[in-house]
Amino acid sequence: MNPLNRLVVRTLPLVPKPVVRSIASRYVAGERLSDAIATVRALNAEGCMATLDVLGEDIVRLEETEPTVLEYQRALAEIAARGVDSNISIKLTALGLKLDPAHCRRELARIVETARRHGTFVRIDMEDSSVTEETLRIYLECRASYERVGIVLQAYLRRSAADARRVAAVGGNVRVCKGIYVEPPSLAFQEREEIRDSYMRLVEDLLSSGCYVGIATHDPVLVERSRAVVAGLALDRSRYEFQMLLGVARTLRRRLTAEGHRLRVYVPYGEAWYAYSIRRLKENPSIAGHVVKGLFGPREEAGRP
């Protein structure tokens, strides 16, 4: 990260909320479900699928899970009623995983039951390494009774190759991503090329063992290598999809859909947009430019979609 960006990252908490909101409009569909459905519709019209994420994670009181469950149930009903092409992505810490895993399991079961009624796929996001094992266990338990549920493996984690074998054993549906949390060298690869190598090994191993793979990256190198792998394996396009975040790498996204690859966009929405936006900004290499534009430039409409 260049010195200017480093400085901006350090001073982000001081950036006025309206400025963050203006920049966030690129990465977040809005506060309401209707905003999210409108974004999904626009993405569908562009030839992309979507996954809806109700923003919020790492809750501190168990009572906080109820609104999240209700919102996911509303989202599932709305996806079905509006006939849009979207599934949902859930963070288990928003359902109380770090506070009470039994409570989390019950809350997840309520959402999965609604998804089952609508025939909709549910992706369980992967969070920091303190919850990797429990998240994987909950996924495997859930997968035993509902097939349309998937998990995420993070290429930076050293354990992911072994986890991939556990998931492949049940023919799981896996999103592969680099991983977004700060993890120590004992648990995670730190070097860019090591992470890329791990990423491609996961993609190849999972595809070769018959798993459906969500190739979640904006890294042009990984996209190229993945295109080569699916071509080499002569895979049908129904066996994998590319995945990207709302507002990121739209040129690459359009290229992939134009080539006929399936592509899903992660569409976060909800009142907890601030924390999510700050995280997106911190990982964006051109962050300073975005903040300066947000402070001094015209309102950015780039987020649609």
Ligand X SMILES: Cc1cc2nc3c(=O)[nH]c(=O)nc-3n(C[C@H](O)[C@H](O)[C@H](O)COP(=O)(O)OP(=O)(O)OC[C@H]3O[C@@H](n4cnc5c(N)ncnc54)[C@H](O)[C@@H]3O)c2cc1C
Who contacts 71 (Cβ-Cβ below 8 Å, separation ≥6)?
33, 54, 270
Residue 248 or residue 278: which is nearer to ligand X going by CB?
248
Establish if 249 lies at the interface with ligand X (CB under 6 A). Answer: yes
> What's the rounded Cα separation, in Å, for the pair 95 and 86?
21
175 in active site? yes
Who contacts 215 (Cβ-Cβ below 8 Å, separation ≥6)?
176, 203, 222, 223, 226, 240, 241, 242, 243
Residue 26 or residue 105: which is nearer to ligand X going by CB?
26
What single DSSP character describes residue 251? H
Establish if 5 lies at the interface with ligand X (CB under 6 A). Answer: no
Stretch that binds ligand X, among 12-20, 108-116, 171-179, 230-238 (CB under 6 A): 171-179
Residue 117 Cβ vs ligand X, minimum distance, rounded to whole Å:
25
117 in active site? no
Who contacts 205 (Cβ-Cβ below 8 Å, separation ≥6)?
161, 164, 165, 168
Stretch that binds ligand X, among 229-237, 239-247, 253-261, 293-301 (CB under 6 A): 239-247
Measured over the CA atoms of residue 292, residue 293, residue 299 and residue 301, the dihedral's sign is negative
Establish if 152 lies at the interface with ligand X (CB under 6 A). Answer: yes
Of the candidates 140, 220, 131, which has an alpha carbon nearest to the alpha carbon of residue 183? Answer: 131
Q: Which of 143, 175, 196, 264 is catalytic?
A: 175
Residue 227 Cβ vs ligand X, minimum distance, rounded to whole Å:
15
Establish if 125 lies at the interface with ligand X (CB under 6 A). Answer: yes
What single DSSP character describes residue 56? -
Establish if 243 lies at the interface with ligand X (CB under 6 A). Answer: yes
Of the candidates 42, 113, 13, which has an alpha carbon nearest to the alpha carbon of residue 72? Answer: 113
Establish if 179 lies at the interface with ligand X (CB under 6 A). Answer: yes
Establish if 193 lies at the interface with ligand X (CB under 6 A). Answer: no
Residue 174 or residue 207: which is nearer to ligand X going by CB?
174
> What's the rounded Cα separation, in Å, for the pair 65 and 57?
10
Spatial contact of 69 and 107, defined as CB atoms under 8 Å apart: yes
The residue within the footprint of ligand X, chosen from 216, 263, 267, 291 (CB under 6 A), is: 216
Beta-carbon count within 10 A of 61 CB? 8
Establish if 217 lies at the interface with ligand X (CB under 6 A). Answer: yes
Stretch that binds ligand X, among 3-11, 135-143, 254-262, 279-287 (CB under 6 A): 279-287
Stretch that binds ligand X, among 41-49, 75-83, 203-211, 281-289 (CB under 6 A): 281-289
Catalytic positions, written as ranges: 125, 175
Residues that bind ligand X (CB under 6 A): 125-126, 152, 154, 175, 177-181, 216-219, 243-245, 248-249, 266, 280, 283-285
